[in-house]
């Protein structure tokens, strides 16, 4: 696509209105080109006069007849011409689940939304590295960090979404993982709906399932675990909750669980969980420096936590953790198959 072209120093004739061509112009500039914004009539004049050096013509708006004439003139001058859709002016918000942080784990729908964005509000956990390429026409706003490294409060993020959408922008709210798994996505949807701003949601790959997988831990395994419970560990649980969590059996996945890990393990043991149940901490899943530590629930308590644990990390508790070592995986798979 022409958006991938290197346009360094090239004059690019962009045909249409300032509003309708805003995304195309941002792309041209991102690719290093110099924009010449003109209306259809002026474009035809320029293309008829042979003294103007133009490297590429991008036709966005204008009557069909002028477009055809423009093409014919460009052909005579051996100039490449392409068409691009006009940017809409209806303000909308798209919540995009960005996955656990690696760009290629973003969905195609997520990429399409970013390519069409005027404004992107992103934070710490989503893919950040190639945002300028994924959303060349957008203003990128980091809402995960403010100057003092304090995250922008949720009501302010919601106000920003609404404000930019009301100004006519396509606002993409890029979130880590899936927007509806401990991501406050539902609050943002509600805020937009209440403000009368149309909002759509693109799901994402959730770290709750994908990050254990990145460490070789399947969250379910026939004969070993037939349920998956995903909890937030940002505050410890009540005694009856530990009893439930242990009672369900299967696999327990804890997000935001680094700081409360000792309390949670202590609570689970008190509720009757056997001390040797394996536990894995998977830090920075799919990111540089991904690290897996395998231990047991009792060992975490005995050692007073996992000293070097850093966020973001997913905690997995249950028999499936043993599958993290591939030799065990093969043995277990054979046992399970034999038993079936
Ligand atoms: N909506 C997100 C979760 C948001 S809560 C999702 O579906 O994945 C934030 C927590 O997600 C972090 O504290 C951590 O527990 C987990 N997390 C997100 N990305 C991660 C990653 N790349 N590696 C490990 N844990 C991650």
CATH classification for the domain delimited by 208-339, as one of 3.30.950.10, 3.40.50.1100, 3.90.226.10, 3.90.1170.50? 3.30.950.10
What stretches of 6-99 show up as alpha helix (H) in DSSP? 22-30, 40-48, 64-76
Atom of ligand 1 nearest to the CA of 210: 8
Tokens of 333: 């798979």
Q: Is 11-83 assigned to CATH 3.40.50.2300?
A: yes
Residues contacting 64, CB < 8 A, separation 6+: none
Catalytic residue positions, numbered: 123, 145
Q: Give the burial class of 101: count Cβ atoms within 10 A of its Cβ; 0-12 exposed, 13-18 middle, 19 or more buried.
A: buried
Residue 328 pLDDT: 54
β strands within the chain, DSSP E: 11-15, 34-38, 56-59, 81-83, 92-97, 119-122, 139-142, 170-175, 199-202, 228-232, 251-255, 278-283, 291-296, 313-317
Please choose, from the candidates 267, 274, 279, 270, the residue with its C-alpha nearest in 3D space to the C-alpha of residue 309: 279
Would you say residue 198 has pLDDT above 60? yes
Tokens of 141: 């706003």
Distance separating alpha carbons of residues 146 and 275, to the nearest angstrom: 43
Question: What mean pLDDT, rounded, does the chain reach?
Answer: 90
Percent of the chain predicted with pLDDT > 90: 71
Would you say residue 327 has pLDDT above 80? no
Beta-bridged to residue 253, according to DSSP, are 230, 316
Q: Per-residue pLDDT averaged across 204-231, rounded?
A: 96
ω into 312 cis (within 30 of 0): yes
Q: How far is CA 114 from CA 130, 156, 188, 201, 318, in A?
A: 11, 22, 18, 13, 38
Report helix, strand or coil for 171: strand
What does the DSSP 8-state code read for residue 221?
B
Would you say residue 13 has pLDDT above 90? yes
Q: How far is CA 49 from CA 66, 67, 77, in A?
A: 16, 17, 10
Lowest mean pLDDT among 80-84, 220-224, 274-278: 80-84
Would you say residue 199 has pLDDT above 90? yes
Residue 191 pLDDT: 97
Sequence spans of domains, the chain: 11-83, 92-205, 208-339
- The model's confidence at residue 127, banded by pLDDT at 50, 70 and 90, is confident
First to last CA, the chain: 52
- The model's confidence at residue 160, banded by pLDDT at 50, 70 and 90, is very high
Asked if the domains 11-83 and 208-339 are classified in one and the same CATH topology, the answer is no
Would you say residue 80 has pLDDT above 80? yes
328 or 290, which is more confident? 290
Distance separating alpha carbons of residues 227 and 254, to the nearest angstrom: 14
Q: Is the dihedral of CA 257, 260, 266, 268 positive or negative?
A: negative
Q: What are phi and psi of 333, to 5 degrees?
A: -60, -40
* Tens digit of each residue's pLDDT (9 = 90 or more) over 225-274: 999 999 999 999 999 999 999 999 999 999 999 999 999 999 999 999 99
Lowest mean pLDDT among 111-115, 149-153, 284-288, 292-296: 149-153
Distance separating alpha carbons of residues 179 and 173, to the nearest angstrom: 9
- Structural contact between residues 93 and 198, judged by C-beta atoms closer than 8 angstroms: yes
Distance, CA 204 to ligand 1 centroid (Å)?
A: 12
HSE, side-chain direction, 13 A CA sphere, residue 188 = 32
Distance, CA 138 to ligand 1 centroid (Å)?
A: 25
- Residue whose token pair is 């404004």: 119
Distance, CA 43 to ligand 1 centroid (Å)?
A: 50
Would you say residue 324 has pLDDT above 90? no
- The model's confidence at residue 22, banded by pLDDT at 50, 70 and 90, is confident
Would you say residue 88 has pLDDT above 80? no
84 or 276, which is more confident? 276
- The model's confidence at residue 340, banded by pLDDT at 50, 70 and 90, is very low
* Ligand 1, CB within 6 Å, residue ranges: 100-101, 125, 176-178, 181-183, 206-208, 211, 255-256, 282, 284-287, 311-314
Residue 275 pLDDT: 97
Would you say residue 339 has pLDDT above 90? no
Distance separating alpha carbons of residues 288 and 314, to the nearest angstrom: 15
Would you say residue 85 has pLDDT above 90? no
Tokens of 179: 């927007």
What does the DSSP 8-state code read for residue 235?
S
Please choose, from the candidates 91, 100, 132, the residue with its C-alpha nearest in 3D space to the C-alpha of residue 206: 100
What global pTM score does this model have? 0.80
Would you say residue 3 has pLDDT above 70? no
* Tens digit of each residue's pLDDT (9 = 90 or more) over 24-75: 888 888 889 999 999 999 999 999 986 667 899 999 999 999 999 999 999 9
Fold of 92-205: Cobalt-precorrin-4 Transmethylase; domain 1 (3.40.1010)
Q: What are phi and psi of 158, to 5 degrees?
A: -65, -40
- Determine the residue of 201, 255, 258, 281 to mutate for testing ligand 1's pocket, defined as the one with the most ligand atoms within 8 A of the Cβ atom: 255
Residue 145 pLDDT: 66
């Amino acid at each position: 696509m022409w958006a991938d072209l290197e346009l360094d120093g090239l004059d690019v004739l962009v045909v249409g209105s300032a509003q309708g061509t805003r995304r195309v112009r941002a792309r041209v500039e991102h690719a290093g080109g110099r924009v010449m914004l003109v209306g259809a009539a002026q474009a035809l004049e320029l293309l008829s006069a042979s003294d103007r050096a133009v490297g590429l013509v991008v036709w966005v708006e204008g009557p069909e007849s002028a477009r055809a004439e423009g093409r014919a003139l460009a052909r005579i001058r051996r100039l490449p011409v392409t068409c691009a859709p006009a940017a809409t002016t209806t303000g909308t918000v798209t919540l995009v689940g960005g996955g656990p942080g690696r760009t290629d784990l973003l969905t195609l729908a997520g990429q399409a939304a970013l390519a069409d964005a005027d404004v992107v509000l992103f934070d710490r956990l989503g893919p950040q590295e190639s945002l300028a390429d994924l959303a060349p026409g957008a203003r990128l706003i980091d809402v995960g960090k403010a100057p003092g490294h304090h995250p922008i409060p949720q009501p302010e993020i919601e106000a920003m979404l609404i404000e930019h959408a009301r100004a006519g922008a396509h606002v993409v709210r890029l979130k880590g993982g899936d927007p509806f798994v401990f991501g406050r996505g539902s609050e943002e949807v509600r805020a937009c709906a209440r403000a009368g701003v149309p909002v759509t949601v693109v799901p994402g790959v959730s770290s709750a399932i994908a990050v254990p997988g990145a460490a070789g831990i399947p969250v379910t395994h026939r004969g070993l675990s037939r349920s998956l419970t995903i909890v937030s560990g940002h505050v410890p649980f009540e005694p009856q909750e530990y009893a439930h969590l242990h009672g369900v059996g299967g696999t327990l996945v804890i997000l935001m669980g680094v700081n409360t890990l000792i309390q949670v393990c202590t609570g689970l043991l008190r509720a009757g969980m056997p001390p040797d149940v394996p536990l894995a901490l998977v830090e920075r899943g799919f990111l540089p420096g991904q690290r897996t530590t395998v231990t047991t629930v009792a060992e975490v308590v005995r050692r007073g936590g996992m000293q070097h644990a850093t966020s973001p990390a997913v905690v997995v508790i249950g028999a499936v953790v043993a599958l993290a070592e591939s030799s065990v995986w093969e043995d277990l798979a054979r046992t399970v198959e034999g038993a079936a």
